[in-house]
Amino acid sequence: GAQAVGWSERRAAPATDGSAHRRGIGFAPVVYGTGSEDSDAEVEILPDGSLAVLSGVSDVGVGTRTVLAMIAAEVLGVPYDAVGVRSGDTELPYAPMQAGSRITFSLGWAVKAAAEDARAQLLHLAEPLLETPAAELEIKAGRVRARGAQDDGYTLAEVFRFAKRTTHLVGHGHSTQKGKPALQGFGAHFAEVEVDVETGAVVVLRYVAAHDVGRVLNAHGVENQIYGLGQTLGQALMEDLIFDDATGLTLNADLSQYLMPTLKDFPPVHAIMVETNDPLGPFGAKGIGEPPLPPVLPAIANAIYNAIGVRFNTLPITRDVILQA
């Protein structure tokens, strides 16, 4: 992160040349624990060879269904697009709420266990067809065969047909993460800003966010989670509820007066995914939903200090606040 932002070339003290536009670079670290909660999941293998993950979890747009399908596909040795996901219903197996960066960590373990159970049942079903003990069978590219065999083996549907089974297999998985050591995520954020000392305007020119994400299961999803830091940009520079002291009423209760960042305010973000392999997470993964948020505020405040030499200990750091400093 430091190399990407040019930290070694950063000016140590604020500019003193009298220019109106002054630039600064700020840094802030983050250590964030992943939430954990008991979870249940089921994985079905249907007679036609299709598969489904069943979970009561609600996907709020962060790629939960995608990563659960990827975990099941990895365990079962099938392509990702062969796995469907049924979710968001209380009749389905229990899942924790979508918060605390806990879903991949907690529910991911339950899905992995359910997929392993379903896989064991399928390999047992395939023993007579391949005349091989289940312990010596494997599933690769959606086909069951003896380990080390050079033949194509059999599709999942062919295994069902040979066994004359017309009902689906159901693998059950449960994850108990409470009481286990906290899974910690680490990050380093860098912001470069330009401050107009005549108008108080602050522009975030670029942003670098480096995060220890464990093993990346879905690179696109992890990158988008890091981009979620944009919501904290408004908290740092503009979002502020104003109340009438006499009545207690909110004076800026609509979006025409409560200022929030637009795409024009959003800086270029360089997301750096540092892969480690933490055995506490499924396949070594860590939660990444909330860790990118806390360091944005101090990183921007430190960048403003580096630019103009003034410390701000309250938020938001608006134009008026800067001019009054």
- Residue 297: count other Cβ atoms within 10 Å of its Cβ: 20
Three-state DSSP state, 82: helix
Residue 131 annotated to the active site: no
What are the residues whose beta carbons fall under 8 Å from the beta carbon of 184, sequence distance 6 or more? Answer: 31, 32, 33, 34
Task: Report the alpha-carbon distance of residue 53 to residue 282 in Å, rounded.
Answer: 16
For β-strands 202-214 and 269-275, DSSP reports them as: parallel
Task: Report the alpha-carbon distance of residue 20 to residue 4 in Å, rounded.
Answer: 26
If 0-12 CB within 10 Å is exposed, 13-18 middle and 19+ buried, where does residue 101 land? buried
Nearest CA to 36 out of 289, 294, 287 is that of 287
- Please pick, among 42, 44, 239, 290, the residue that the annotation labels catalytic: 290
Active site residues per annotation: 290
